[in-house]
Amino acid sequence: MLKNYDNDQINSLAFTGSLLKGTAHNINTPLSSILGRADIVRLRLGRLIASIHDQDALQELEKSCRDINLIIDNCNKVSALLKNTVNRCNTSIQNTPQPVNIAGVLREDLEFFMSDMEFKHNIEKIFRIDTTMPTIVGAHVHFSNSFTEIIDNAQAAMRDNENKILTVTAQADENSIVVSIGDNGCGMDEQMRLSMIQTLEHPVQSCDSPLSGLAYVAVLLQPYKPCYQVESIPGNGLFPDYRRGHDCMGVDAPCIAAQGAISSHRNHMAVVS
């Protein structure tokens, strides 16, 4: 998502991001006060409605009660966004191995993408995420940044489509966890497909400039010894899977996989064992 910014802009955004947690806290304090007061007003209105028999006055009170309910509902939505932002700030710096809930990572990433108005309003989203999947030991930021990069690339690949469809599924499959991220982009030719596999299977060891796309994903996931499969069907998009199990490397290591198609000429990842 930062590929369109220069280094100065990235540094400025990084500084702003480092203050997001404190900003969320500063917003949450008055928001909690508003919610508390609104709840009190709702209780008072409920008592008044129960004691008043004048129909005109009763209708006005009921309108006020509906308004208060709307205020509370929207305040709760803002509160949820703030909690997600704080959680994002916390997990974004977690680069030490620990049990990672892949379903939770995907849900948080997808919720955060809703801050992108193009993603929120102009893309049909189909999410099927099994919340009972086992955890994977690894760094949260490795998985989150990988999924974010793939979703961002999928979104870019569909830019010229009138009807954009993003599909994200995650489920346990025997000894594996399978994550599939698909778009309905235009697909790719065989040469590009092989080039993408080469990029994924041979991560860059050192680079003077920040990596992006598949090159970045390959480096992030290298510690988990993944295996990759990339398939492309013209007219379809990307369907990457993430697998953890014995079926990929012969060891208890995660496997990244992709079924379906990888769209356009941009960097996309498909991962299936």
**Inside any domain, residue 1:** no
Question: In this structure, how many other beta carbons lie within 10 angstroms of the beta carbon of residue 61?
Answer: 17
**Inside any domain, residue 268:** no
| In a shared domain, residues 110 and 170 | yes
> Which letter, b or e, does each residue of 82-111 get, where b requires 16 or more Cβ atoms within 10 Å of its Cβ?
bebbbbbbebbeeeeeeebbbbbbbbbbbe
| In a shared domain, residues 119 and 233 | yes
Q: Give the domain-ending residue among 91, 116, 139.
A: 91
Angle, CA 192 vertex, CA 149 and CA 154 arms, to 5°: 30
Question: 94 — phi, psi (to 5°)?
Answer: -90, 95
**Inside any domain, residue 267:** no
| In a shared domain, residues 49 and 117 | no
- Please name the residue that has the structure tokens 């990672």: 100
Residue 62: give the domain boundaries: 7-91
- Cα 34 from Cα 247, distance rounded (Å): 53
| In a shared domain, residues 12 and 119 | no
SS3 263: coil
Q: How many CA atoms lie within 13 A of 192 on its CB side?
A: 18
**Inside any domain, residue 123:** yes
196: CATH = 3.30.565.10
| In a shared domain, residues 79 and 135 | no
Q: How many CA atoms lie within 13 A of 195 on its CB side?
A: 10
In contact, 87 and 107? CB cutoff 8 Å? no
Q: Whose CA is closest to 29, among 91, 73, 75? A: 75
Which amino acid does the sequence have at 268?
H
- Please name the residue that has the structure tokens 């919340």: 131
- Cα 258 from Cα 206, distance rounded (Å): 26
Q: Give the domain-ending residue among 91, 110, 134.
A: 91
Question: 253 — phi, psi (to 5°)?
Answer: -130, 155
Q: Give the domain-ending residue among 91, 126, 144.
A: 91
Each residue's pLDDT, cut to its tens digit, for the chain (273 residues) gives: 666 667 777 778 778 778 888 888 899 999 999 999 999 999 999 888 888 888 888 889 899 999 999 999 999 999 988 888 888 788 777 778 889 999 999 998 998 898 889 999 999 999 999 988 888 889 998 999 889 888 988 888 888 888 999 989 888 877 778 888 888 887 777 888 888 888 888 888 776 666 778 888 888 888 877 777 677 765 555 444 444 433 332 223 333 333 333 222 233 333 432
| In a shared domain, residues 145 and 171 | yes
Q: Helix (H) and strand (E) counts for the chain?
A: 8, 7
**Inside any domain, residue 25:** yes
| In a shared domain, residues 141 and 245 | yes
Pairing mode of beta strands 136-138, 98-100:
antiparallel
- Please name the residue that has the structure tokens 């008055």: 30
| In a shared domain, residues 102 and 218 | yes
| In a shared domain, residues 127 and 73 | no
What pLDDT shows up at residue 235? 55
Does an H or E element contain 148, and which?
helix 140-157
What pLDDT shows up at residue 21? 84
What pLDDT shows up at residue 236? 56
Give the E-state strand segments of 19-175 in sequence order: 98-100, 123-129, 136-138, 164-173
SS3 255: strand
- Cα 89 from Cα 3, distance rounded (Å): 20
Q: How many domains does the chain have?
A: 2
What pLDDT shows up at residue 42? 92
The structure's pTM equals 0.72
